[in-house]
Amino acid sequence: MYCSGIMTDRKRSLIFVNILISCIASSMLATALTTALPPILEDFQLSVAMGQWLTSGYSLAMGIMMPLTAFLITRFPTKNLYLAGIGLFIAGLAVCVTAGNFPVMMIGRVLQACGNGILTSMAQVILLTIYPIEKKGTIMGWYGLSVGAAPVVAPTLAGALVDSFGWKMIFYVPIVIMLVSFVFAVAVFDNVLDTYKQKFDILSFILSAFAFGGLTLGIGNVSSNAITDVSVFVPLLVGIISAVFFVYRQLHMEQPFLELRTLKYRDYTLSVVGSMLLYLVMMGSSIIMPLYVQSIKGYSATISGLVTLPGSLAMAVVSPFAGKIYDRLGMKKLFVTGAFFMLLSNLGMVFLTMDMPVWMASFYNAIRCVAIGCLMMPLVTWGISGMSEELTAHGTALLTSLRTIAGAIGSAVFVGIMTVAARQGAEKYGENAQIHGLNITFGAMAAVTFVLFLIAVFLVKGGKIKQQYGGK
């Protein structure tokens, strides 16, 4: 593989800055759209359950794309593939700007997901390859600031843009940033990852798409339908069967489409599970927070964005330091601290009432962002850093794919829980039924986070990864 030692610090820094620009633009839309969701629902006359697929459907498409990136990264030159990812994302943004209905906008979101899937996987593999091991935690911490803080800052910016210029403005801004990034990449990017000829296994790709798609659709529909309903049972069945065949095929191929044997390494598997639980809660709460501020409390999109602003500032402070702490102390302390703060924030939201000011929700959201800063990128670095370089693309693709799918499931399931709880509590709680639904939902998130906390306390070992595993 590419040797990080032969690259100059200047070239390495230019590539890193270029990656940051692209990732900031692509990550912004992960939550900017949640702030714009209420006016989009009104324009297209959609229900919340249908409209949330603009975010969870995006995550689903991105999750389906992720397994393919392991093949693309090792098959095509780095620079060409990176430019193609930016191009796809820009095309998706352009479709959304011109969208006059929900199906067209979904097409645009799928194109964005394909582009972002390529960019996200490539960014992590490139950074973990070109930087020496003693700097990986720190550099991934700064990278985590872009992919973590950008989605948190985005609602504040999006709220002002939506109120002032309409919801389409949240697509215009990333188009400009991505065009700048494209020109920058043409000038500074190099082919920093080794490639080799590998036959594209179309059957594995189809199986992975049906597996990830079926499971996500089925679980997402559980929120509004019984498990025996066709919309739930059929996708789940297709997903499970496809997953079984996909796993079997990968384990019996000489050159797997996606190397699943990475899961036999303990730390990597724990990082995957931890990332999935984190994204399950993180993406669910990112949908529910603007719904709480705008739909339940009745405030504007601008106020909705300002409610999340303290969280963005907290993450901006924590994320780079989290990388440095990982480099010095390892994962144990970060994992326990992050899981504890996440649990605390969710429990706090359980006790919100209609009479409480919105700054209470903002405070709990800030705590949640501290937790995200402690966990998101350090989990990836921890899981991948001990892995041999030939497995890095596969390990990154699998982890990112599974956590993205978990995020899509979280968005659908937690919105469903809130909707059902509010409907069932309408008679008992009256005008407080919606806040009751929100309380129940964050109680479910607290239960998920408690599992994350138990993993951190009892399964994660102290110290740093110094050895590589998975070599041939």
Give me the CATH number covering residue 360: 1.20.1250.20
**Same domain for 94 and 205?**
no
Please check whether residue 82 lies inside any domain of the structure: yes
CB 387 within 8 A of CB 136: no
Q: What is the pLDDT of residue 30?
A: 63
For residues 145 and 209, state if they share a domain: no
Average pLDDT for 265-285: 91
Alpha carbon dihedral 417, 419, 421, 425, in 10-degree steps, equals: 180
Neighbours of 273 (CB within 10 A): 21
pLDDT (mean) for 141-159: 69
Which residues contact residue 56 at a Cβ distance below 8 angstroms, ignoring those fewer than 6 apart? 216, 220, 283, 287, 407, 408, 409, 411, 412
Same domain, 284 and 413: yes
> For the whole model, what pTM was predicted?
0.76
Kindly give the interhelix angle for 102-130 and 389-424, rounded to the nearest 10 degrees: 140
Q: Is residue 467 part of a domain?
A: no
127: confidence class by pLDDT, cuts 50, 70, 90: confident
pLDDT tens track for 390-447: 777 788 878 877 887 788 788 778 888 888 888 888 888 888 888 989 999 999 999 9
Q: Which of 235, 254, 273 represents a domain boundary (last residue)?
A: 254
Report in angstroms the alpha-carbon separations of 467 from 133, 200, 382. 10, 32, 12
Residue entry with tokens 């909707």: 419
Q: Can you give the pLDDT at residue 350?
A: 93
Query: Within a domain: residue 471?
Result: no
Mean pLDDT, range 382-391, rounded to an integer: 76
- Single-letter amino acid, residue 42: E
435 and 332 co-located in one domain = yes
Q: Is the distance from CB of 43 to CB of 174 less than 8 angstroms?
A: no
Residue that terminates a domain, selected from 217, 234, 254: 254
Q: What are the tens digits of pLDDT across the range 3-22?
A: 444 567 788 888 888 888 88
How many C-beta atoms surround the C-beta of residue 437 within 10 A? 24
Residue 284 inside a domain? The answer is yes
One domain, residues 165 and 141 = yes
CA distance 96 to 136: 36
Cα angle at 287 between 107 and 68, to 5 degrees? Answer: 45
Of 40-44, 217-221, 290-294, minimum mean pLDDT range: 217-221
Of 207, 232, 254, the residue that ends a domain is: 254
Residues 58 and 203 in one domain: no
Q: How confident is the model at residue 240 (pLDDT cuts 50, 70, 90)?
A: very high
* Statement to judge: residues 321 and 404 lie in one domain: yes
Residues 319 and 217 in one domain: no
CB atoms within 10 A of CB 418: 28
Mean pLDDT of 447-461: 94
At position 272, the amino acid (one-letter code) is V
Domain that holds residue 249: 199-254
C-alpha to C-alpha distance for 328 and 313, rounded to whole angstroms? 24
Is a pLDDT exceeding 50 seen at residue 472? no
Contact 146, 377 (CB under 8 A): no
The yes-or-no verdict on residue 388 having pLDDT over 80 is: no
Which residues are CB-contacts of 253 (< 8 A; sequence separation ≥ 6)?
A: 201, 204
Q: Kindly report the average pLDDT of the chain as a whole number.
A: 82
- Asked whether residue 230 is assigned to any structural domain, the reply reads yes
Query: Is the residue at 469 inside a domain?
Result: no
Q: How many domains does the chain have?
A: 2
**Same domain? 28 vs 143:** yes
Report residue 463's pLDDT band, with 50, 70 and 90 as the boundaries.
Answer: low
Please tell me whether residues 321 and 436 are part of one structural domain: yes
Q: What is the mean pLDDT of residues 119-131?
A: 81
Do 354 and 411 have their domain in common?
yes
CA angle in degrees (0–180, nearest 5) for 273-308-342: 30
Q: Which residues, in sequence order, are bridge partners of residue 463?
A: 330
Asked if 342 and 452 count as a contact pair (C-beta separation under 8 A), the reply is yes
Q: 94 phi and psi, to 5 degrees?
A: -65, -40
Per the domain annotation, does 472 fall within a domain? Answer: no
Based on the fold, state whether residues 13 and 63 are members of the same structural domain. Answer: yes
Residue 288, pLDDT above cutoff 70: yes
Residue 468 lies in a domain: no
